[in-house]
Chain A
Amino acid sequence: MEVKVDLKSMKHENFKDNEYIEQLVKELREGGTNVVVGVLDDVINWGRSNSLWPLTFATSCCGIEFMSVGAASNDMARFGFEVTRASPRQADFIMVAGTIVHKMAPVLKRLYDQMASPKYVIAVGGCAISGGPFKNSYHVVKGVNEIIPVDVYIPGCPPRPEAMLYGMMQLQRKVKLERFFGGVNKKEKRPEQDK
């Protein structure tokens, strides 16, 4: 991804003019040193996207299919979703697997707030997307995007494990394209009381 540098003392074109680095790399290579040149954001995003750890969070049917995703025949660890974490402090993203009802809504919001930034949300299944078959109920939240921002939607009732893996890999794509420094690492605002 093209990163737009924002410096007072230097124009963007000058910043992109890296002739002296190219010269340096050339000299080093000629001297027999192996050098790789890249953007630090890409390296960090490569690492981040391949070790996204989900929070153990499930309310109903989709949660059982999510367990299947973690078990032998589908094994999400193949793609870097190594292990589900029981604590929101250690999780990178939350799979909202199942219906969210009125009584659960503040709990979900609180869990999301407790997660460390950068954090992501995947809405799994019809219920988390829009309320699904229970849309008309008096006690069902019509989509989790009413409470927390959603990054990826996975439709289905419940989605098959393959669909869940596809959705989680879409999140990886999204993470790979993000700007880390000055971007998502600073996204979260400080809460009022800390000031």
Chain B
Amino acid sequence: MSNIYDKIKAIVPEVTIEENGLSMVVVPSEKMPIVASYLSEKESFDSLVALIGNDWGDSLGVVYIIDSTATNERVVLKTSTTDKENPMLYSVVNVWQSADLNEREVYDFYGIRFIGHPDMRRIFLREDWEGYPLRKDYDMSPEANPVPQTNEYNADTTISLQEQPDGTIKEEERVVFAPEDYVVNIGPQHPATHGVMRFRTAIEGETIKKIDPICGYIHRGVEKLAEGLTYPQTLHFTDRLDYLSAHQNRHALCMCIEEAMGIEVPERAKYIRTIMDELSRIGSHLLLYSTLCMDLGSITAFIYGFRDRDKILDIFDDTCGGRLIMNYNKIGGVMADIHPEFVTKVKNFIKYMPKGLAEYHALFSGNIIARNRMEGVGVLSKEDAIKFGIFGPTGRASGWANDVRKLEPYGVYDKVDFEQVVLTEGDTYARYMIRLKEIEQSMHIIEQLIDNIPEGDYAAKTKPIIKLPEGNFFKRVEGARGAFGVYIESKGDKTPYRMKFVSQGLNLIGAVDHITRDSKIADLIAIGGSLDYVIPDIDR
């Protein structure tokens, strides 16, 4: 860290460093473009992990967490502006493409406009929304923004702020869809969009010319709600973000809080958490198999997938008391000890599952119609995967080894032997196959752990009132469809000052336009199914 700090200091002498949990390099806002292009071009910091807006009372700003895929180094930048009337910062979208939707999110929540961003529209809230909800002085009364009675209007043009050579900022109008474009609306209520995602799709014949994704149909304002709740109360939101990787999400938040407080988690809890994470990964991948196949016309596969997924849900049901939303992890460990039959049931499942997988391959993987619809469709190259920040199985299907379980081992992943599955084709078929291969690896992990769960406590003792020390904390886990991150900024209270959930799926949506460009409109269904986004996780 100090090394890279010295290098940045040599380029821009004005930077300072803030050591408070995370080491942050504070960059003056006008120097941000220089630092960003230096980091990406000279130092190979090519992966933007998180872009977090914040309101510090007297200033508004953004925190960037950037990784290098070559050296696995991490640098955290912070920049801010004191102008609260008309806040403007420089965009980094030309350096890190994945900043695109993230900067629109910051504009939506805080009203910060980014100079150089091609498309400054709101992303989650309606265009006629009043105010910026995550600002600390936002008017929360329901009268300010009542439930809308009218249908939504979407403008076909957008605003882009461009800096002129003389230093002034000029608003330029950009066209999203020209009047001659034939625009078809897919979603928000469409059986093949896997939730309430909406794509405005310009088509020419059957060929997709452009997709404009519109999010926010399940935006629940979780991050603002979390600011008013104590840490144990915030836990239950994580299960409801990406409900298919509920255990992993909650694991991330618990670990972030535990790390900040310095709680040592008992070994037994770590084993249980890791087994639960892998079980929910299998469950999530089975759901992908079921729904992708159903979208491509194979209802039998849906029935098979759900039959096997229900076996996992029964195991969860015994121990956690819930099937889909388990509320099982807590700060310091897990809520309750495992059920007496847990080990037997998991072993039976592992014995059973290979038979199921063989059935899946016989039913669908080798099917000529399925292969024709998936092979070579929606190809995403490795460079583009890194550029768009596509983590998780989708990125690994394009050849980018990005597994957080390997890069930053947590739980007991450092004690087990497993292979990080990486495929190179990057097409829909690779994204489908990698899920089935990951199921095998997950079972391999569980096999190594299930007989060795150590005796002891299942949770560490914590104080009745949980307070985090002042500072910034960030923790990532490998969710079922990407890296899920939790960023907490604490002022030493029992409630967080800012809690940001780094979504697994937002970057996937950012890449949909790129992946589907010039494909057939029917391929959008196959590509969307294989990307496996969960909308509440994107909208939060």
- A, B assembled together: yes
**Which residues of A are interface residues toward B (Cβ below 8 A)?**
56-61, 63-65, 67-68, 71-73, 86, 98-99, 101-107, 110-111, 133-134, 136-141, 146-147, 157-158, 160
Q: How far is the CB of B248 from chain A (nearest CB, A)?
A: 15
* Residue B6 is within 8 A (CB to CB) of chain A in the complex: no
What chain A residues lie within 8 Å of B310 (beta carbons)? 68, 71-73
Instruction: Please name all residues of chain B whose beta carbon is closer than 8 Å to the beta carbon of A59 when the two chains form the complex.
Output: 195-196, 217-218, 535-536
- A134–B225 touching, CB < 8 Å: yes
Q: Within the assembled complex, what's the spacing in Å between the Cα atoms of A26 and B65?
A: 87
State which residues 192-224 of B face A: CB under 8 Å: 195-196, 216-222, 224
Decide if A137 touches B536 in the complex (CB within 8 Å). no
Q: A139, B219: Cβ atoms under 8 Å?
A: yes
List 19 contacting pairs A-B, 8 Å CB cutoff, sorted by A: A58-B195, A59-B195, A59-B196, A60-B195, A60-B243, A60-B535, A61-B325, A71-B290, A71-B307, A72-B303, A72-B307, A99-B218, A104-B217, A110-B151, A136-B225, A137-B220, A139-B125, A139-B219, A146-B147
Q: Mostly helix, strand, loop or mixed at chain B's interface?
A: loop
Knowing A60-B218, A60-B240, A146-B147 are in contact, say whether A103-B126 is a contact too (CB < 8 A).
yes
Of B190, B191, B236, most A-chain CB atoms within 10 Å: B191
Residues of the A chain whose Cβ atoms lie less than 8 Å from the Cβ of B145:
102, 138-139
Instruction: Look across to chain B and name the residue whose beta carbon is closest to the beta carbon of A98.
Output: B218
- CB of B324 within 8 Å of the partner chain: yes
What is B's interface to A at a CB cutoff of 8 Å? 124-126, 133, 138, 140, 145, 147-152, 188-191, 195-196, 216-222, 224-225, 228, 236-237, 240, 243-244, 287, 290, 302-304, 306-307, 310, 313, 323-325, 535-536
Q: Which residues of A contact B150 (CB under 8 A)?
A: 106
Secondary structure class of chain A's binding surface, majority of residues: loop
B327 to chain A, nearest CB (A): 9
Chain B residues lying within 8 Å of A102, measured Cβ to Cβ, are 125-126, 145, 147-148
Question: Would B324 and A61 count as touching, CB distance under 8 A?
Answer: yes
Expressed in whole angstroms, the Cα–Cα distance for A73 and B317 within the complex equals 15
CB < 8 Å neighbour of A158 from B140, B148, B324: B324
* CB within 8 Å for A61 and B217 given contacts A106-B149, A157-B325, A160-B323: no
Inter-chain contacts of A60 with B (CB < 8 A): 195, 218, 240, 243, 535-536
Q: Which residue, B126, B152, B216, B221, has most C-beta atoms of chain A within 10 A? A: B221
Given known A-B contacts A59-B218, A104-B196, A158 and B126 have beta carbons under 8 A apart: no
**Neighbouring B residues of A99 by C-beta, 8 Å:** 218, 220, 536
Q: Are A138 and B188 in contact (CB under 8 A)?
A: no
Closest chain A CB from B127 CB (angstroms):
10
Task: List B contacts of A140 (CB < 8 A).
Answer: 220-221
Contact B217 A101 (CB under 8 A): yes
CB-CB under 8 A from B124, the residues of chain A are 103, 139
| Contact, CB under 8 Å: A103 / B125 | yes
Q: In the complex, what's the smallest C-beta–C-beta distance from A20 to chain B, in angstroms?
A: 53
Please indicate the chain B residues that have their CB under 8 angstroms from the CB of A65 in the complex: 323-324
With A56-B191, A58-B195, A106-B151 already in contact, the answer to whether A101 and B325 are too (CB < 8 A) is no
Give the shortest distance, in Å, between B54 (CB) and chain A (any CB): 18
Q: Judging by beta carbons under 8 Å apart, are A137 and B125 in contact?
A: no
**Are B222 and A134 in contact, with the CB atoms below 8 A?**
yes
Please indicate the chain B residues that have their CB under 8 angstroms from the CB of A86 in the complex: 190-191
A102 CA to B221 CA, complexed, in Å? 11
Find out whether the CB atom of A61 lies under 8 angstroms from the CB atom of B151.
Answer: no
Q: Are B188 and A104 in contact (CB under 8 A)?
A: yes
**Structural contact, B126 and A138, CB atoms closer than 8 A:** no
Cβ-defined contact, A104 with B303, below 8 A: no
Given contact pairs A73-B307, A103-B219, A106-B148, enumerate 11 new A-B contacts (beta carbons under 8 Å): A59-B218, A59-B536, A64-B287, A68-B323, A71-B290, A101-B216, A102-B145, A107-B152, A133-B237, A134-B220, A137-B221
B98 to chain A, nearest CB (A): 24
B240 touches A61 (CB 8 A): yes
Knowing A56-B191, A68-B306 touch, does A139 contact B133 (C-beta < 8 A)? yes
Cα A147 to Cα B140 with chains together (Å): 21
Minimal beta-carbon separation of B160 from chain A (angstroms): 24
A134→B225 CA distance, assembly (Å) = 8
A18 to B531 Cα, complex, angstroms: 66
